[in-house]
């Protein structure tokens, strides 16, 4: 079967939200869709699937009104046969229904046996224990982000089981997985891929996986080379006209970059220490420990020297961001000790110390979600106003700094643009740049590659390497394990875990 091409235009009362002429959906193939955050990947996919509100937006698909698109028998069949896994697991689940009821709602109840899916997605946990989790109402704190994500995947796989058992090969399908592994570590991501490809082999159906995780390419090439004929890697990028274009993304581009980029993390012994965090600390009644080995054998202090890049690893929810916020004095620990550029800080240290000596002086931090960390109502220029710089950034200097992470010439209109009107990827680059323009000894980066397209990832990594060479100490927290595992050598990787926890045997390799 060939590609089904959609021409999609979505406008609000004020502006064109997204416009694309060539959104191709290869039928009964697996498409990995990349592109920077906010470019329109989710919105276009939702429009094609028929999930947008026709009254809220002005939508046209292939020249037809959205109301006509929704009435088409093909759209209705797709909705009947397929499933859409939303990016944000919390917004997908209904807080007023138990999970148990939600996973058996509507056509999902036709999939009687879900044990194979459960045992696969929750590989380390007993099936009965997982089923107990389903008896609760989703709350902000339980299930965790990773658990919620797997619950959504469970629903999608149940729908796939229904498809495999009930529908013929000709039934049109369009399974969309919007950032299906955003809250999962590589181990669970790989389990998801394995199950998906196993089902696909049984009966090919149309799959669209929207992701920022370029390392998924390596996994596909490593383990599913036999399926490469059925797999497409595509990327959305913005044209100068403001419209969006879909083009093939060459996996070699990513794999080649990964091979030739090796920062090694910098020299250690000759330089002075910038940060040393004691190996164990306690916060929110949890004791957390830092290790050098993946197997969590020997506790060790986290040490970062000048000109060194260190990567802190742990599964989602263990406390990587918590540790970063502890170093920055944003949480009050029960037990904690560190040396930061010559200043000893413990759990008893008064907050004013960070105010006077640390923030913007000895250390700066880039937060995980650019949308939440930036003032969306401010202009690009105002983002840099108020920073503790020696002199205020003049427009020319600011443009030059922005040019390091943004493409093309920076126009006056861009620096006076409201942050809210930037794409997700642009916001993330701005978020990074705000901290990188300061000359701090330590820079903590929490998910610095979040929401970036491949070109931006390479630019950001070059910029980080430049800062490292200039003598800054960098502490990285990221889900992009493959990138940092490859470009940094082992002595620059630390692991964080509960002090009592040992890594399961099957994940030690």
Partner 1 sequence: MKLIRHKDKAWMGIWLAVMAGVGVWDVLFLNKPALKQVVAGFLNTFVISLLVVIITLACGWLVTICLYYLEARRNKTGYLLLTFLLNLIRSIPQIVGILFGYILVAYLTGKGTLQSPTLVFPLMAAIVSLFIFIELVDLMRERIEYYKRLDFYSAMLVCGIPESRIINFDILWKNSRLHIFNKLISVFGISVFLQCSVDFIISVGLSTGVSSVNLPLTLGSLLAKIDSKQDILAIGHTLTHPSYFPNLFFGHLQGVTVAFLIVFTLMCIYHISNGYAERHRL
Dihedral class, residue 438 (left if φ above 0, else alpha if ψ from -120 to 50, else beta): beta
Q: Which lies closer to partner 1 via its Cβ, residue 81 or residue 435?
A: 435
Residue 382: CB minimum distance to partner 1, A: 8
Residue 284: CB minimum distance to partner 1, A: 17
SS3 270: coil
Q: Which one among 438, 455, 499, 503 touches partner 1, defined by CB under 8 A?
A: 438
Contact range with partner 1 by CB under 8 A, out of 33-41, 173-181, 375-383, 394-402 = 375-383
Nearest CA among 158, 420, 445 for reference residue 328: 445
* Sign of the CA dihedral running 103, 108, 113, 118: negative
Q: Which one among 368, 426, 450, 456 touches partner 1, defined by CB under 8 A?
A: 368
Window 287-346: residues binding partner 1 (CB under 8 A): 325, 328, 330
Contact range with partner 1 by CB under 8 A, out of 50-58, 162-170, 246-254, 430-438 = 430-438
DSSP state letters, 327-351: HTT-S--SB-EEEETTEEEETT--H
Window 13-52: residues binding partner 1 (CB under 8 A): 13
Residue 385: CB minimum distance to partner 1, A: 8
Residue 206: CB minimum distance to partner 1, A: 36
Q: Which lies closer to partner 1 via its Cβ, residue 4 or residue 361?
A: 361
**What's the CA gap between 176 and 37, in Å, rounded?**
17
**What's the CA gap between 484 and 475, in Å, rounded?**
12
Backbone angles phi and psi of 442, in degrees to 5: -120, 135
Q: Which one among 387, 397, 455, 499 touches partner 1, defined by CB under 8 A?
A: 387
Backbone angles phi and psi of 345, in degrees to 5: -130, 130
Backbone angles phi and psi of 275, in degrees to 5: -135, 135
Residue 56: CB minimum distance to partner 1, A: 12
Residue 508: CB minimum distance to partner 1, A: 34
C-alpha 422 chain-centroid distance: 18
Please list, in sequence order, all residues whose beta carbon lies within 8 angstroms of the beta carbon of residue 106, skipping any fewer than 6 positions away: none
Residue 369: CB minimum distance to partner 1, A: 6
Contact range with partner 1 by CB under 8 A, out of 225-233, 298-306, 357-365, 466-474 = 357-365
Q: Which residues bind partner 1 (CB under 8 A)?
A: 13, 325, 328, 330, 359-361, 363-365, 367-369, 372-378, 382, 386-388, 431, 434-435, 438
């Amino acid at each position: 079967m060939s590609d089904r091409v959609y021409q999609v235009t979505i406008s609000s009362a004020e502006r064109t939200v997204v416009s694309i002429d060539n959104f191709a959906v290869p039928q009964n193939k697996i498409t990995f869709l990349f592109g920077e955050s906010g470019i329109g990947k989710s919105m276009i996919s939702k429009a094609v699937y028929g999930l947008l509100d026709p009254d809220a937006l002005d939508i046209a698909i292939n020249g037809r009104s959205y109301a006509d698109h929704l009435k088409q028998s093909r759209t209705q069949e797709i909705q009947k046969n397929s499933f859409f896994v939303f990016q944000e697991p919390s917004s997908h689940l209904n807080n007023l229904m138990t999970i148990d009821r939600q996973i058996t709602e509507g056509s999902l109840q036709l999939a009687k046996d879900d044990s194979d899916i459960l045992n696969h997605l929750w590989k380390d946990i007993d099936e009965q224990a997982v089923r107990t989790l389903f008896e609760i109402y989703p709350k902000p704190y339980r299930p965790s982000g990773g658990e919620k994500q797997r619950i959504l995947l469970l629903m999608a796989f149940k729908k796939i089981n229904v498809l495999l058992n009930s529908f013929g090969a000709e039934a049109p399908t369009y399974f969309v997985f919007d950032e299906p592994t955003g809250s999962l570590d590589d181990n669970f991501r790989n389990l998801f891929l394995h199950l998906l490809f196993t089902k696909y082999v049984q009966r090919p159906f149309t799959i669209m996986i929207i992701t920022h995780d370029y390392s998924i390419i390596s996994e596909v090439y490593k383990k599913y080379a036999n399926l490469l004929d059925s797999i497409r890697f595509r990327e959305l990028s913005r044209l100068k006209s403001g419209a969006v274009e879909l083009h093939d993304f060459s996996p070699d581009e990513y794999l080649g970059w990964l091979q030739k980029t090796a920062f090694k993390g910098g020299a250690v012994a000759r330089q002075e220490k910038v940060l040393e965090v004691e190996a164990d600390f306690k916060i929110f009644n949890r004791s957390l420990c830092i290790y050098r080995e993946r197997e969590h054998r020997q506790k060790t202090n986290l040490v970062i020297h000048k000109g060194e890049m260190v990567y802190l690893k742990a599964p989602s929810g263990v406390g990587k961001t918590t540790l970063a916020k502890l170093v920055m004095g944003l949480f009050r620990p029960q037990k904690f000790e560190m040396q930061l550029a010559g200043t000893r800080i413990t759990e008893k240290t008064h907050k004013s110390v960070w105010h006077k000596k640390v923030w913007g002086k000895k250390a700066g931090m880039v937060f995980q979600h650019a949308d939440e960390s930036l003032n969306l109502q401010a202009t690009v220029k105002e983002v840099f106003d108020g920073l503790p710089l020696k002199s205020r950034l003049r427009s020319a200097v600011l443009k030059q700094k922005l040019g390091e992470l943004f493409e093309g010439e920076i126009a006056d209109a861009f620096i006076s643009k409201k942050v809210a009107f930037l794409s997700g990827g642009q916001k993330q680059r701005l978020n990074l740049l705000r901290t990188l323009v300061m000359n701090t000894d330590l820079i903590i980066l929490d998910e610095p590659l979040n929401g970036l397209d491949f070109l931006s990832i390479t630019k950001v990594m070059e910029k980080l390497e430049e800062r490292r060479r200039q003598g800054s100490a960098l502490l990285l927290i990221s889900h992009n394990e493959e990138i940092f595992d490859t470009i940094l050598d082992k002595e620059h990787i630390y692991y964080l875990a509960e002090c009592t926890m040992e890594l399961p045997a099957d994940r030690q390799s």
